[in-house]
Amino acid sequence: MCKDNAEGAVESVDGVSRFFRPDTKCCTYFPRLPNYLVGALLSDERPELAEGRGRMEARIAGRIGVTPQWVKPPAKFNFLYKNGHQFFGRAASLRCPYYGEESGGCTIWPYREAVCSTFFCKYVSGADGRKFWMSLKTYLTLTEIQLSRWTALQLLPDYILSGKDRPELNSVPLGVEDLDDAPPPTRVYAELWKEHAGREVEYFRACYQLVRGLTADGLDKLLGLDGVIELKAVEKLFATSVSPQLPRTLRFNPDATVQWLPDGSVALGAYSDFDAIALPGEAYGLLVEFTGRQPVEAVRHHLREHKQADLSEDILLELYRHRILVEA
């Protein structure tokens, strides 16, 4: 998505650059790390993770967004992220705090969370691939929630039993501390952490050790019926993404975006703002023949007979995966 890697691509849409900044890439996001992943990072002594460990230790010492369940983004970041417009990949002010500016990579990579593990600018298998990865994100997020709650219940039961792990149902206005990037008052923070206040690093490492000792059966029990359902959804969507079937009838997607390029080819997009397909102009002219009123093979026969042209099944399948062509 950076310009140097996309020669000849469409540079802007509606006056806004479609490229990402090379010093942000897709890392204009602040991950919500569950306690056991924080502990895993802090327990990993490999030299290549020294920068990430240092950044995490600094975040914990700063106490902003640090809870027994998560090290999470500040409320101000969440507000800006939810209310920003066309900022993704472009706003340096929203760059991830774990992004390595010099290396251009993630300083905590082995311990990234569900969103970072499943997001791609472009997906193998197009829309079907995105559905699979989004389903996997849902399953992993459920796992993060349940494991972080379970570990907190073992080590700091009052946090769970008092309902502090429940997400806010209504948005809360930003307070002075939120706007000024200040930590919560000492009394409030101490009440949250109780006997673990000042010993957060040891707490997070203990969470990691608890999860390391959990069996697969134990995890299944924690995830319950929701876990069973989500895992079946992942398996089904994976099968679709790796073994797609071309529908019997196809039509050109009226919602697809079309932009002609200087070389006479055309960029087509549908399922994602980040993933377009470029076709020769002549090939694009054939797509209007797919109206959904005739089977695909009948349309291909018509193209061969009357236009001395054809679109192979592989090309049609790729257009369908990207939802340039959709099932009629």
Read off the pLDDT of residues 206-239 as tens digits, 9 standing for 90 and up: 999 999 999 999 999 999 999 999 999 999 999 9
Domain with 16, as residue range(s), is 3-242
- Encode pLDDT of 36-81 as tens digits: 999 999 999 999 999 999 999 999 999 999 999 999 999 999 999 9
**Considering 212, 242, 272, which residue would you say is the last residue of a domain?**
242
Span 273-312, pLDDT tens digits: 899 999 999 999 999 999 999 999 999 999 999 999 999 9
Query: pLDDT grade, residue 8 (50/70/90)?
Result: very low
**Number of structural domains in the chain:** 2
The reply to whether 142 and 225 lie within a common domain is yes
The pair of three-digit structure tokens given for residue 272, joined into one six-digit string: 């994602």
Q: Is the pLDDT of residue 14 over 70?
A: no
Among 242, 267, 299, the domain-final residue is 242
Query: Do 285 and 220 belong together in one domain?
Result: no
One domain for residues 180 and 212: yes
Q: Can you give the pLDDT at residue 11? A: 58
- How does the average pLDDT of the chain come out, rounded? 94
Question: What average pLDDT score do residues 127-152 get?
Answer: 98
What is the value of pTM for the model shown? Answer: 0.92
Distance CA 323, CA 320 (A): 5
Kindly report, residue by residue over 155-177, the tens digit of the pLDDT: 999 999 999 999 876 678 999 99
Q: Say if residue 130's pLDDT is above 60.
A: yes
Task: Verify that 236 and 253 share a domain, yes or no.
Answer: no
pLDDT of residue 7: 46
